[in-house]
Structure 1
Amino acid sequence: MNVTRFEDAPEYYPPNHFSMRCVRLQGHEAGPAESLWLGVSVIEPGGYTTSDASRVEKHYVVLEGEVIVITDEGEVILAAFDSCRIAPGERRALQNRSRSPAKILLAMPFPPEQC
């Protein structure tokens, strides 16, 4: 078993993420994992990502607050415990337009060459 306490989760700095604190809960520098990794991002009011795509799918679950997810198809507001899947190659941007921080859980498989 690998336990990561939230207060001890290693921070990471993905490109094109602004006014956000991103930590890994499992996988990568947070410990061993075979197929996916988990992270949490705290998005400050006004925080956002640019519109980018990934080679692998992403799953988001909002833990607290509201997060706007924007794709080429439009945008949706996700509230606490709402979730979405972003397909491989699908562009997405995240925004926090509220006055309170938002927390979002990310589950993402490792790229095929890392498995």
Structure 2
Amino acid sequence: MDHSIRRWDVETGKGPWTMVCDKVLNCLDVGGEGSALVAAGGSDPILRIWDPRKPGTLAPIFQFSSHTSWITACKWHSRSFFHLLSASYDGKVMLWDLRTAWPLAVIDSHKDKVYVPIGGKMIA
């Protein structure tokens, strides 16, 4: 609820990397290239991707904004560095490719919000 993503060093107990977002974050997944990219969605329609390996910047490297409501879940593809899914209160599930600015596929057959409960799985 503090609008942040923090990566902690478990040996020292220090947080060497902190990213602050404008909105409350609802979901987070780590994956992509080198299993190092951070995808997160929150209380706005923007799916954000950060690369904590890039020194000196906390700005997202990608921002996808085709949803029209809060993003409730995001999940990296298990075998592709470029693909991830997002789900939203707008009733849509979208498949994204980091190499394009638009979703590759949209499932919009839901009549209500789409979310994944804590401990639930979003299959990618």
**Greater fraction of residues in strand:** 1
Relative to the length of structure 1, the TM-score reads 0.29
Greater RCO, 1 or 2 (C-alpha within 8 Å, sep 6+): 1
Q: Which has the larger radius of gyration?
A: 2
**Greater fraction of residues in helix:** 1
